[in-house]
Structure 1
Amino acid sequence: MWLLNLATFTLITWQVTCHAINQHTGDGGEKRADYSGYTLHRFRVDTTSNTMEKLESYDMELDQNTQTARLLIDIWAEPSKQNPYADILVAPEFLEKFKSLLTASEISTLKMIEGDIQSQINAERNAMFRNSIRRRKRALSSWKDFDVNSYHSYEEMVEFMRLLSEQRADMVEMVKVATSSEGRSIYGVKIHPPGGSPPEKPSIIVDAGVHAREWIAPAVGLFMIKKIVAEYGRNPQVTANLEKFDWYIMPQVNPDGYEYSRTSDRLWRKTRSKNTTVNRWCVGADANRNWGYRWGEAGANRTPCSNIYMGSHPYSEPEIKGLKEYFTWQITNPMVYISLHSYGQLLLSPWGYTNERTENYQDQQNAAKEAAMAIKNTTGVSYSYGTISEMMYPASGTSIDFMQHRGVPYIYGVELRPTDNPNSFAFNLPPSFIRATGDEMMAALNAIGTHAVKVKRL
């Protein structure tokens, strides 16, 4: 999620080895978190009540003897003013207590939407394994053969971008934007019309994968890269937008966390940096709370074990420091910035740190309205839009506030699918949804681009 309002829990002074104590060994010998028996629930919440704060105080069970922490509650979707429903993952041993807490809060709308989250994770892992075998049998020799309708390893993502930049060098440049905590090079692509562009040409920037478990986000980023290159000169809307804007797409900006979610803990959210200042056992920070503009203000969390830990200082995460440097010094005329997340089907605009509106608030909302209409016309899916504080609650240290402060006109943190699907797949959205989600994001960005051309007279 773009935001996650977990309460700050007591600083842990012993080792937290995993969200779930029970583990099993994967095919490669690595330990994997086991969420057997964890159930996902949805219920309606009065957003003016303190129900969520009460529930959040029970998030972890800490065991000093085993030096481990077991997740009891994990808030996957917060209620908003537009969608007053919460999605919460609950440990089996905490279910009765959870229900009694809801009863005490006079909540009677509880619905279980997934009976065993581990079975969903297992099904996804098995499908991924079969796809990896199929891909290994046929080495990738052309960017055209890259299957954008599957979830890929980071290594496969990089290979696709490398092939694309080599085989379509007239349109695509592979760019390095940062280096991760574990030493992975973070790449993206710059896409322009054949022959290049002047340096002052306006740009559309897309990043994805900030939160490791949100796999649909990088998949959509890859889908968009391939679609733009493949359909330039054939699709009038894609062609017109590439003529007006250069596109910078970074499909995976948290590769350490992403690979960890693939091999060890499917529900991992943060980066994988080592904390050396407060608690050396708690790993990672929320990369979307680590940006320097208004860092550590509203909604900040200073507890290293928290899922929304803001980091020890602004830009403490090398991934975010690298992105900031690249965005600041390598992209001269940013016009649109989109950060892809999941889930909730929202277009969230600045500000995040305050309830105040930006100077260009109405123009941003007009563009968001056109994007939502374009999505609806493309796939029939509904997206809501508004500022973070209008839709959710204040949060500081986000990329969209940094971009707003820089003066980028059109900025949105996008929560992708699902929401209105009758079976909420949450973070385990099947790859069969990648194409439709990618199509609706292309439609949204084309609409925002068209709006920008008209309003800014580009």
Structure 2
Amino acid sequence: MWQQLVLIVLIGLATTIQQGTAERIRYDNYQVYQLQPQTAAQLETIKELDGSSDSLLFVDPVHYLGTKINVLVAPQRVTDFLATLQQSDISYELVDENAQKSLDLEELVADPNRRRGEYTWTEYHELNDTYAWLRSLPEKYPEQVSVFVAGRSYEGREILGVKISYASSVDGATKRGIFLEGGMHAREWISPATTTYIINQLLTSTNADVRKMAESFDWYVVPHANPDGFVYTHTTNRMWRKTRTPYNGCFGADPNRNWGFHWNEVGASSNACSDTYAGPRAFSEIETRTLSDYISTLRGKLVLYLSFHSYSQLLLFPYGHTSELPPNYKDLKRVFDVGVTAVSKRYGTRYTGGNVYDAIYPAAGASLDWAYGKLEVPYSYCFELRPSGSYLWSGFRLPAEQIIPTGEEIIDSMLAMIKGIGTL
């Protein structure tokens, strides 16, 4: 009899998980500490904590010295966590006494879960809403838009994209292509919101410069490179970053450490429970593997690859695995310079950046490096969108009222970058 009861409970639990009705994770009374390791031994101690428990959530990568690392600590874990820090003489600061209160305050500014009939950029949307909007575009713009499946996810979702093309050639020459990728990290909601804003502008803007930009290239745009993770941020854990592939009791790999270019050499973790887990091998994640297969079909066509992340207000270019500068560094830097200048003109938003390794941190296995190093796309960049790096630890929850301003200034930056590429 007891075996039957256990079976019934297990079936019920499996059904609950399958239907996505698991209880939403909250961070009530989680304290947020900012750590700053100064020695290799201190960094190693923090690495051992990263991924060691569900009671600790590291918001920042734990791979390099002299930087600030924010970590959410469950109330029952605070005492022994602080004891570990003190024992290793690690500098720390309490920056938030209740993580959930900060998250709730941001939701009061713009509720990310409210849904309306019209697709707009005054709110954040769930995956199905965005996919429905993407699928509606060929009906509205049959001569310019087609929908493509760029890959698949572990849970069987499509990685959906749109191609925008106004003509097969420009002045008799075959058009070059531009690829935009968003949503690689699940919790960075401003990333897919920005890519869909760009799609809409490429189709509807009456600005002469935007029209020329839209019509001069074939555009390939994938707003959600990690659909499973994005759905999970809506249903269960707003702070989720990775894919949802199961690994030895933990879930997911960091899809932006999983690409097959200098994979797992630096700036990634081999711990499956870490937020920067590189996966057991390059392209272990079906998301990165199938997406890279699709992008590879465009080899020789793409002149520009843009990856959208958040946050810190940075513009980055290769490489992430080494401080050695890429062969066409001068060209990359020139386009970088005009891009960061243009992004500030509309709202005064200040971007900095440079090569990934030096400008933010060592990080091998990212999509922009793969596009540049393997696919030989000559101009490959990553935008780390609003807010700035000095923002509260919860900067992943950018208020929805900033979606349109973010999109506007990124369009400005893209225009300048594309013009810069044309003059090299």
Shift, 1:317, TM fit:
1.2
CA distance in 1, matches of 2:343, 2:112: 32
Contact 1:222 1:251 in 2 (8 A): yes
Aligned equivalent of 2:359: 391
AA aligned opposite 1:175: F
Aligned equivalent of 2:177: 203
Aligned equivalent of 1:30: 22
Shift, 1:425, TM fit:
4.0
CA distance in 1, matches of 2:367, 2:31: 32
Q: 1:336 to 1:58 in 2, by over 3 A?
A: same
Q: In the alignment, is residue 76 of structure 1 matched against residue 63 of structure 2?
A: no
1:273 to 245, 253, 257: 245
Shift, 1:88, TM fit:
3.3
Secondary structure of the structure 1 residue equivalent to 2:24? strand
Aligned equivalent of 1:165: 138
AA aligned opposite 2:401: S
Q: 1:425 to 1:155 in 2, by over 3 A?
A: same
Q: In the alignment, is residue 216 of structure 1 matched against residue 190 of structure 2?
A: yes
Contact 1:77 1:344 in 2 (8 A): no
AA aligned opposite 1:274: P
Contact 2:37 2:43 in 1 (8 A): no
Shift, 1:123, TM fit:
5.2
For normalisation by structure 2, the TM-score amounts to 0.85
AA aligned opposite 2:58: D
> Which runs of 5 or more residues in structure 2 are unaligned?
1-16
Shift, 1:71, TM fit:
2.7
Number of residues of Structure 1 aligned to a counterpart in Structure 2 = 402
Q: In the alignment, is residue 255 of structure 1 matched against residue 227 of structure 2?
A: yes
Q: 1:296 to 1:383 in 2, by over 3 A?
A: same
CA distance in 2, matches of 1:328, 1:351: 20
Matching of residues 317-396 of structure 1 within 5 Å: 317-330=285-298, 332-396=300-364
Q: 1:422 to 1:260 in 2, by over 3 A?
A: closer
Q: 1:398 to 1:186 in 2, by over 3 A?
A: same
Cα deviation digits, residues 156-207 of structure 1 (max 9, x gap) = 01111111121111222111101111111111111122x4447941122111
CA distance in 2, matches of 1:296, 1:261: 26
For normalisation by structure 1, the TM-score amounts to 0.79
CA distance in 1, matches of 2:357, 2:39: 14
Cα deviation digits, residues 203-223 of structure 1 (max 9, x gap) = 221111111111111111111
Contact 1:200 1:333 in 2 (8 A): no
Shift, 1:451, TM fit:
0.6
AA aligned opposite 1:56: K
Matching of residues 167-182 of structure 1 within 5 Å: 167-182=140-155
Q: 1:49 to 1:368 in 2, by over 3 A?
A: farther
Aligned equivalent of 2:372: 404
Q: In the alignment, is residue 236 of structure 1 matched against residue 205 of structure 2?
A: no
Aligned equivalent of 1:283: 251
Secondary structure of the structure 2 residue equivalent to 1:296? coil
CA distance in 2, matches of 1:415, 1:48: 28
Shift, 1:442, TM fit:
1.2
Secondary structure of the structure 2 residue equivalent to 1:347? strand
1:153 to 121, 126, 129: 126
AA aligned opposite 1:165: P
Shift, 1:336, TM fit:
1.0
CA distance in 2, matches of 1:129, 1:358: 39
> Which runs of 5 or more residues in structure 1 are unaligned?
1-24, 62-68, 139-144
Secondary structure of the structure 2 residue equivalent to 1:418? strand
Q: 1:219 to 1:236 in 2, by over 3 A?
A: same
Q: 1:418 to 1:49 in 2, by over 3 A?
A: farther
Among all aligned residue pairs of Structure 1 and Structure 2, give the percentage whose two residues are the same amino acid: 33
Shift, 1:431, TM fit:
0.6
Aligned equivalent of 2:384: 415
Q: 1:446 to 1:70 in 2, by over 3 A?
A: same
Contact 1:290 1:397 in 2 (8 A): yes
Cα deviation digits, residues 16-57 of structure 1 (max 9, x gap) = xxxxxxxxx9x97422222111233457x4777765443333
AA aligned opposite 2:331: D
